[in-house]
Amino acid sequence: MQFEKKISLVTGANRGIGKAIAKKLLEKNVIVIGTATQPEGVKKISKYLHGQGLGIQLNICDSISIKLCLEKIKKNFGLINILINNAGITQDNLLIKMKENQWDSVINTNLTGTYRISKEVIPGMLKKNYGRIVNIGSVSGFVGNPGQTNYSASKFGLIGFTHSLSREVAKRGITVNMICPGFIDTDMTRILSEKHKEKILSFIPINRFGSTKDVAHAAIFLASDEASYITGETIHVNGGMYMK
């Protein structure tokens, strides 16, 4: 896979799936800029990048924060070739108990945040007639999950966003695709009880939780030149839990 002289931006890169994707990009000698919302996360990113990129604090709910982040990247490295929209949050609650701020914050981060940063990155890709955008969704966006009406809505919204944007920019050498992970072995799933884990595994034909590397491998492919004829698509990385 050809990645020479590519510059990538991975949001939410301080842990989990974002970190795994960033580290895989490093292995391909891509310059990686990883973002986190807190200074502690930025330090973690800069530490594992080993000088082959930069950790930057970013609030994807704040347009000014996005502009400042992209200006710093442009000044130090140039225009972004690869954008991995990974940053996201959960604030689970049953709908009848869900507070409006829980709904708003999840939609604003997971869906509107992707809109904001993609809108600012695409002009640079248009100048180069080249770009790769990979949005990280969730199996919850397809099958739903009790207590996650906000999260599921935000991730299903990304599907329509991906389809529409891919049609807008395809003629300019920019692809826009999506990965929908199932249950992945991360901090969020490790806190589940053994009984809950067993119940989840009963729905996964491969009979294990995925690893962050499983998702990263798919992201690396979609970000590569080998995937230049793939756009507007969703790759499901869920061990067979959901099939389409």
Across the chain, which has 244 residues, the per-10-residue mean pLDDT values are: 84 96 96 97 96 95 96 96 96 97 98 98 97 97 94 97 98 98 86 85 94 98 97 97 88
Residue 1 lies in a domain: no
Q: Is 197 annotated as a binding residue?
A: no
Residue 242 lies in a domain: no
Q: Is 193 annotated as a binding residue?
A: no
In 3D space, the residue among 173, 145, 164 whose CA is nearest the CA of residue 81 turns out to be: 173
Residue 210 lies in a domain: yes
Among all chains, which residue has been given the structure tokens 């698509």?
233
Q: Is 113 annotated as a binding residue?
A: no
Residue 244 lies in a domain: no
- pLDDT at 20 (0 to 100): 97
- What is the distance between the alpha carbons of residues 170 and 237, in angstroms, rounded to a whole number? 24
For the annotated catalytic residues, the residue numbers are 151
Residue 84 lies in a domain: yes
Residue 2 lies in a domain: no
pTM of the predicted protein model: 0.95
Number of domains in the chain: 1
Render the burial of 59-94: b for 16+ CB within 10 Å, e for the rest: bbbeeebbeebbeebeeebebbbbbbbbbbbbbeee
Residue 32 lies in a domain: yes
Total length of the chain: 244
The boundaries of the domain holding residue 117 are 7-237
Residue 54 lies in a domain: yes
The domain that contains 200 carries what CATH number? 3.40.50.720
- pLDDT at 188 (0 to 100): 72
